[in-house]
C-alpha cells in the first residue's frame, strides 16, 4: 500500500477530507502514513480553494495508535537513531498541523488511542460520535505520550493532563467534552451528517477571519498579558483591511439603515 492509499484526500466545496485508510490495521500510524499526512497537510494548506481540513478514519475506528511493527521494533531494541527519527516525524506532523493557516478538525468515531488520540488532539477542533473512545494509555506499556503532552496540557490544563497520561485510562466522548477536549458530541447514528454540517458551518465563515483567529490564538501562547493585547491589536488592524471584513461591515451597515 502506497502513501496515497494510506491517506485518501478529497476536496469538495472548500472542505478537504483526509481519511486514514488502513481499516484492517485500525488505521495505525506507521512511518509512511505519518509522512503522507504531513505532506498532505502542507499541500492542502497552500491550496486556495481549501478553507477547512478534516481528519477521518476509514472502518470502525479513527486511529488506534502506533503500528504494531513499530512496537515490535521497540521491544526488540530498535536503533536509538531510528527511534528519534520516528518520534521526530510524528512531532513534525503535530507542528505542521498547528502552524497550518487553515483550521483542522478531527472527526472521531470508534477508538482514538495513544498516537491516534494524539493526532486528534493536534487538530484545532475535535468532533466525536457519542460512543467514541479516547485514551493516552502509553504508560501501561512503560511508554510516554511525549509529544502530545505539549498539546494536551494546553487543551485541558496541567492537572487533568497529568491524570490522563499517568493513569492511561480511556474515556468516552461526552467526558472529553466535559473536560474541554472535544468540541461537539453527536449521536452515533447521525454522526456522519451532523459532523459534516458542523464542518460546513465553519467553512462558511470568513476564511481570512478564521485564519487570523488561529494565528492570534496560537501566537499569544506563553505571551505576557501586555504582549497578547499588543499582538491582538496588530491582528485587529490586519483584519480590518481584509476584503471579507470590509464587505461584512458594508452589509451590516446596509441592513441597519433599512
Which are the catalytic amino acids? 138
Write the CATH number for 200.
3.90.226.10
Res 143: pLDDT:
87
pLDDT in tens, 44-96: 999 999 999 999 999 999 999 988 777 677 667 777 777 788 789 999 999 99
C-alpha cell at 106: 478531527
Tell which of 204, 221, 247 closes a domain.
204
pLDDT of residue 4: 74
Quick one: pLDDT at residue 74? 67
How does pLDDT run across 124-133, given as a tens digit for each residue?
999 999 999 9
Please give the mean pLDDT across all residues of the chain.
93
| Per-residue model confidence (pLDDT) at position 51 | 97
pLDDT at 160 > cutoff 90:
yes
Instruction: Name the residue range of residue 234's domain.
Output: 207-257
pLDDT tens column, 116-155: 999 999 999 999 999 999 999 999 988 899 899 999 999 9
**Does one domain contain both 158 and 246?**
no
If asked whether residues 86 and 153 sit together in one domain, one would say yes
| Domain stop point among 204, 220, 235 | 204
Number of structural domains the chain divides into: 2
The pLDDT, as a whole number, for residue 77 is 72
**Whether residues 87 and 161 fall in one domain:** yes
For cell 476584503, what's the residue? Answer: 243
Residue 72 has a pLDDT of 73
Amino acid at each position: 500500500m502506497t502513501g496515497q492509499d494510506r491517506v485518501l484526500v478529497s476536496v469538495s466545496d472548500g472542505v478537504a477530507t483526509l481519511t486514514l485508510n488502513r481499516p484492517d490495521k485500525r488505521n495505525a500510524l506507521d512511518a509512511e502514513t505519518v509522512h503522507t499526512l504531513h505532506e498532505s497537510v502542507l499541500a492542502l494548506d497552500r491550496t486556495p480553494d481549501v478553507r477547512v481540513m478534516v481528519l477521518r478514519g476509514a472502518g470502525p475506528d479513527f486511529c488506534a495508535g502506533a503500528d504494531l511493527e513499530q512496537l515490535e521494533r521497540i521491544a526488540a531494541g530498535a536503533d536509538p537513531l531510528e527511534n528519534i527519527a520516528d518520534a521526530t516525524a510524528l512531532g513534525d506532523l503535530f507542528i505542521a498541523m498547528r502552524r497550518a493557516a487553515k483550521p483542522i478538525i478531527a472527526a472521531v468515531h470508534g477508538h482514538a488511542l495513544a498516537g491516534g488520540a494524539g493526532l486528534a488532539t493536534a487538530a484545532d477542533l475535535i468532533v466525536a460520535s457519542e460512543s467514541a473512545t479516547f485514551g493516552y494509555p502509553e504508560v501501561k506499556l512503560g511508554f510516554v505520550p511525549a509529544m502530545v503532552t505539549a498539546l494536551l496540557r494546553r487543551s485541558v490544563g496541567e492537572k487533568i493532563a497529568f491524570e490522563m497520561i499517568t493513569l492511561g485510562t480511556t474515556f468516552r466522548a461526552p467526558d472529553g467534552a466535559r473536560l474541554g477536549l472535544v468540541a461537539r458530541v453527536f449521536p452515533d447514528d447521525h454522526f456522519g451528517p451532523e459532523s459534516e454540517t458542523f464542518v460546513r458551518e465553519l467553512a462558511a465563515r470568513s476564511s481570512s477571519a478564521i485564519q487570523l483567529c488561529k494565528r492570534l490564538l496560537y501566537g499569544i501562547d506563553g505571551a505576557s498579558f501586555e504582549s497578547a493585547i499588543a499582538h491582538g491589536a496588530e491582528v485587529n488592524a490586519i483584519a480590518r483591511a481584509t476584503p471579507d471584513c470590509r464587505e461584512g461591515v458594508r452589509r451590516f451597515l446596509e441592513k441597519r439603515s433599512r
